[in-house]
Amino acid sequence: MTAETMDAAVVEREVIHPAWVRVCHWINALAVLMMVGSGWQIYDASPLFDFRFPKSIALGQWLGGALLWHFAAMWLLVVNGLVYLTLGIATGRFRRKLLPISPAAVIADAKAALTFKLSHDDLTHYNAVQKALYAGIILTGVVIVLSGLSIWKPVQFQELTALFGGYDAARYVHFVAMAAIVAFLVVHISLALLVPRSLRAMIFGQ
């Protein structure tokens, strides 16, 4: 077999997610699950609303144990998040993948998704709904970290706590951000199951 024939036989497939994206994604998934589970246990110790999360889905068994899990996951999430944001900006991936975001395009793609007419053939390209969701979850991640800091150290970070309207208001902001992340996870996992190629791409890159 000649070199030309061998070259013709090789089908080059574009890398959808580079290695750093995949590593950050899975570390982030682990950190978020740990934070949500332990956060539910912490919430149960002083609930904001008239309900509690079952211990079977909470992490830590009691307040002290949940706090240890939460703080450990917090540092993992913050360090990994900073690496992801830095590389996303430095490599231009965020600009290429998430911009521009047009409200009209988001509405059009949302209608197409609801009627099962939204194409997923090209995984290298994000549709408008994906752009909005991914950009939104990055901003939500920033909010949940900052509100968490204002709850954790309300005296040391009193200016930050005041920015959220005080300690009690920061707890509500933190809870709402958590709920938004959980809702995103439900949609994200559901789409991954509906489009298995997207899950493969996040594992193997292609």
Whichever domain contains 109, its CATH number is 1.20.950.20
Domain count of the fold of the chain: 1
Residue 8 lies in a domain: no
49-102 pLDDT, tens digit per residue, is: 999 999 999 999 999 999 999 999 999 999 999 999 999 999 999 999 999 999
Q: What integer pLDDT is reported at residue 166 of this predicted model? A: 97
Residue 4 lies in a domain: no
Residue 193 lies in a domain: yes
Residue 6 lies in a domain: no
Please, which pLDDT band fits residue 13 given cuts at 50, 70 and 90? Answer: low
- Domain extent at residue 168: 13-204
Instruction: Give the predicted TM-score (pTM) of the model.
Output: 0.88
Alpha carbons 21 and 39: distance in angstroms, whole number: 26
Give 157-202 as a 3 state SS string.
Answer: CHHHHHHCCCHHHHHHHHHHHHHHHHHHHHHHHHHHHHCHHHHHHH
Average pLDDT taken over every residue of the chain = 91
* Average confidence (pLDDT) over 108-116: 87
Residue 7 lies in a domain: no
